[in-house]
Chains A and B, each alone.
Chain A
Amino acid sequence: MRRSKLLITPVLLWLALFLLVPMVIVVVMSLMSRDTLGNVVFHFSLNGYKTFFDSLYLGIYWDTLVLSVVTTVVCLLVSYPLAYFIANASPRVQTWGLVLITIPFWINFLIRTYAWVLLLRTQGVVNTLLIHFGWIQEPLQMLYTKGAVLLGMVYNFIPFMVLPIYVALEQMDKRLLDAASDLGATRWKAFRHITLPQSKSGIMTGCVLVYVSTTGMFVVTDILGGAKSTMISNIIQQQYLGARNWPFGSALSVIFVITSLILILLFNRAMQSRADRAKEGRA
């Protein structure tokens, strides 16, 4: 045991120095002020947080929340049937389905987002095809719209939703379904009362993953949304790399993390009460 403690010291030091300390500095910096040149001055101030309550930023925060929630819901709706299909398929189809879902995860999201520029731009594939078939005369403006951003987000994060739901469905005791059908339940009833509750943990994990990832992803809005659709993550990035208002950028980051943490906490609470209810039911 002593040897283990000795061995883990460099790993701990690394994580402390490059993971924990930087985050503490960000929190501290969010409470600092800055001088006219944009340098951070170590003087307590709530200006970073006050700036957030500007109507401009509150609006962007609201837009970000809406986009993240809509992305999560759309991802859930299209991913659940897919995860269900893979989990109930033959072992061969299961293996292949999983490989096919996992591969995009490892392809750079920048590239996956860029692919949609090829599809959606004015002379892009979709417009070319539509005009070719005579369905439209003039190319449609699809790039640099909110729809394009939503599409790009959903496209990027589908694997995040499919995989946890698949895992939950796969681990479920399928004899329950046999029991249900023996007792005369219809397929829908069995799904509604057995499969769906049993896959709740997967749904929750998927939703948290997609929600947090969408909120933190400034590249999709950058590439597919143009200047019109700005999100909190774009503002954070600009504050750090462009405007150099680090206290404000730090305050936004703290708000972003706290919002996400609250969400995950609510998620844990929901899971907890479900587990308690299950325990009571068995007792």
Chain B
Amino acid sequence: MKRKSHPLLGIHSVLMMIFIYVPILLIIIYSFNNTRLSGDWEGFTFDWYASLMTDDHVLEALMNSLTVGIVSTIVATLLGTVGALSLRGLGRRWKGSMNGLMYLPVIIPDIIMGLSLLVLFNQMHVPLGKATVIIAHITFSMSYVYVVVTARLAGMGKQLEEAASDLGATPWQTFRHVTWPQIFPGVISGALIAFTMSLDDFMVSFFVAGPSSTTLPIYIYGQVKRGISPEINALCTLLIVVSVVLILLAQFFLNRGKGQKKHKMLPI
């Protein structure tokens, strides 16, 4: 039987979408507005983007964000994937508690994670800088990689691997030629999510970054607290575009080669 929703529900849903997207679209529109102060539209310009490209603080923050993002993504992808693979081979008792531990960074509020890492680094006399930010980012983003790869592993079953070892493949050969090709899109998807999380993170970085390791979100926070500026609109627009493209790519890899009727959404 076909159930149709009440028309009011449809109207509500459209209004909600407008509510969600108007503020985001406004930033994008204003980043092209040829005025520094007024709320009116004064014509189209690329000036704010141009002035970003020559702003040393922005470029430094960008370089920091990219360094932190790339290094933390590589390590987090490695740890998250190894975690997902090895957990599968564990007994049930171990599996439950390990799984809980791997999920913990997703559940713990960012502020708690940030301040507890700050306390740790302080007690170990580690100076705050890019290294501390990288360590913090690895800690939360490996969980996301783990979640995505685990979902991928659960979807593929063990029959092919069992068949391979029955036919005399060594464990390494089985992994190399059977397991890895199947989980590869999941690993890529996890890596893209890890990179996006790193690029976007503010809360954790805010606690563990030093003066020389300002990332883009930390820079934006400092500027936003001082008020609005068209350059910030431009910078936010760039960050929005990059995040959305990365996430759509992650989604694409997650669904690749799965031939499912219904598309799986990324975990949150």
Contacts and interface: CB of A to CB of B under 8 A. Distances in A.
Interface of A: 1, 3-5, 7-8, 10-12, 14-15, 18-19, 21-23, 25-26, 29, 78-79, 81-82, 84-86, 88-89, 91, 95, 97-112, 114-119, 121, 123-125, 127-128, 155, 158-160, 163, 174, 177-178, 181, 212-213, 215-219, 222-223, 233, 236-237, 240-241, 246, 249-250, 253, 256-257, 260
Contacts of A23: 112, 116
A3 B89 contact: yes
Interface string B114-152: 011111100100000000000110110010000000000
Given A4-B88, A22-B119, A114-B224, A107 B243 contact: yes
Contacts of B12: 78, 81-82, 85
B240 A253 contact: no
Contacts of B83: 8, 11
B167 interface: no
A233 B240 CA distance: 26
B196 to A, nearest CB: 6
Given A4-B85, A79-B16, 5 more contacts: A5-B86, A11-B79, A118-B30, A159-B268, A216-B110
Contacts of A219: 202-203, 221
A20 B21 CA distance: 38
Interface of B: 1, 3, 5, 9-10, 12-13, 16-17, 19-21, 23-24, 26-27, 30, 37-40, 79, 82-83, 85-91, 98, 101-102, 104-105, 108-113, 115-120, 123, 135-136, 138-139, 142, 171, 196, 200, 202-203, 206-207, 217, 220-221, 224-225, 227-228, 232-233, 236, 239-240, 243-244, 246-247, 251, 262-263, 265-266, 268
Grouping DSSP codes into helix (H, G, I), strand (E, B) and loop, the B interface class, with mixed when no group exceeds half, is helix
A7 B26 contact: no
A167 to B, nearest CB: 9
A174 B138 CA distance: 42
B23 A112 contact: yes
B39 A124 contact: yes
Contacts of A260: 109
Given A3-B171, A111-B240, A95 B217 contact: no
A112 B26 CA distance: 10
A216 B3 contact: no
Contacts of B108: 19
A4 B225 contact: no
Contacts of A177: 3
Contacts of A213: 109
B90 A4 contact: yes
The listed residue with most A CB atoms (<10 A of its CB), out of B23, B136, B138, B243, is B23
Contacts of A218: 111
Nearest to A241: B207
Ranked nearest first, the 6 interchain pairs of A and B with the lowest CB-CB distance are A4-B89, A115-B23, A22-B116, A216-B109, A7-B86, A22-B120
Contacts of A121: 228
B116 A174 contact: no
Given A18-B135, A22-B120, A86-B13, A4 B87 contact: yes
